[in-house]
Amino acid sequence: MNKLRNATITAVGMYVPPKILNNKYFEKIVDTNDEWIITRTGIKERRIIEDGATSDLAARACQDLFNNSKVKPEEIDCIIVATVTPDMFFPATACLVQDKIGAKNAWGFDLSAACSGFLFALKTGASLVESGSYNKVLVVGADKMSSITDYTDRNTCVLFGDAASAVLLEPSESMEFGIIDQLLFVDGSGKDALHMKAGGSLNPATHETIDKKWHYIYQDGKAVFKVAVKGMADVSYDIMKKNGLSSDDVAYLVPHQANLRIIDATAERMGISKDKVMINIHKYGNTTAATIPLCLTEYYRDGKIKKGDNLILSAFGAGYTWGAIYLKWSLA
């Protein structure tokens, strides 16, 4: 497809709440242990917000981005918030973020693609820039997973955390840098394995839905694990091959952080060594739409990403949704 110009990431920001729940905490509230959680998932700690909703996580991540760049809120053209935990069904969380950060000239919307949300939002935002329609698009991945987590269910409660992270997309100085290519997919036949049963138009909230705990995450972990391992590994490998990249050409795999075993399998399929895989699952758990931009922000700020680095971003999530994006980093 012909593009007028490329979109590239020109600023990053993040917010993780200060409250930490470590694995020892979960030993006290459900039948689990630190060793099981680390060996089966790679998670040691996760963060939980005590003073706000998803829009607060998102607004704080955007504020961090503004504090670390020359861009001002009023210059933002559009805000896309990827989330499955919006503050409310409506208005969109993007509207609440717009107000909280003072982006008075922006429009915006929410995008729901669960753990693939950031990738889908990044491509959507990039298209707005590539078409020449807009110059400054904020793409935010934000989830308050603690708001839909059942802390009596050991199968899910140890996995998730709260966080937000944001990137700014602007036109790239050349076609060489920025969002180069993507492979994105959905398969709704996977809906039964990972979902929240009630609160939507299928099962509106009633006393019965609350009694049945239908307002929490439901996951058939084994079923999701099987398709996620294959889906994420295949799509990451396929985007490399489609763009003629060898494993040596890739500076980093930037995977969604749901399970260290899924990440390891993806890196193995791509032939990429562990030192070229961005990891922060041990600190934050699965923060759904926030995991990938959190990795990008932390590794960039640690001086680990260089201008010209080839990055492969990949994710798998509820829907099913999955995909990969090839990005050539342009920030010095």
Active site residues: 115, 256, 286
* Cβ atoms 314, 254 nearer than 8 A: yes
The footprint of ligand COA (CB under 6 A) covers 32, 36-37, 40-41, 115, 154-155, 158, 221-222, 224-225, 228, 258-259, 262, 286, 316-317
Task: Locate 205 and state its tokens.
Answer: 């909230």
Taking the least distance from each CB to ligand COA, the nearer of 122 and 180 is 122
Which residue has its beta carbon closest to ligand COA?
221
CA dist., res. 227 & res. 140, Å (int): 26
Taking the least distance from each CB to ligand COA, the nearer of 32 and 310 is 32
- For 83-174, strand residue ranges (E) read 107-111, 137-144, 162-171
Taking the least distance from each CB to ligand COA, the nearer of 258 and 305 is 258
Q: Taking the complex as a whole, how short is the minimal distance between the CB of residue 265 and ligand COA, in angstroms? A: 11
CA dist., res. 115 & res. 294, Å (int): 13
> Which helix (H) or strand (E) element contains residue 291?
helix 291-301
Q: Taking the complex as a whole, how short is the minimal distance between the CB of residue 75 and ligand COA, in angstroms? A: 34
Taking the least distance from each CB to ligand COA, the nearer of 40 and 276 is 40
Amino acid at 40: R
135 CB contacts (<8 Å, ≥6 apart)? 77, 129, 170, 171
Amino acid at 49: I
Q: Taking the complex as a whole, how short is the minimal distance between the CB of residue 201 and ligand COA, in angstroms? A: 23
Pairing assessment for the beta strands 194-196 and 20-22 based on DSSP bridges:
unpaired
Pick from 291, 281, 284, 282: which is nearest to 314 by CA?
291
Taking the least distance from each CB to ligand COA, the nearer of 228 and 267 is 228
Burial 281-306 (b: 16+ CB within 10 A, else e): bebbbbbbbbbbbbbbbbbbeeeebe
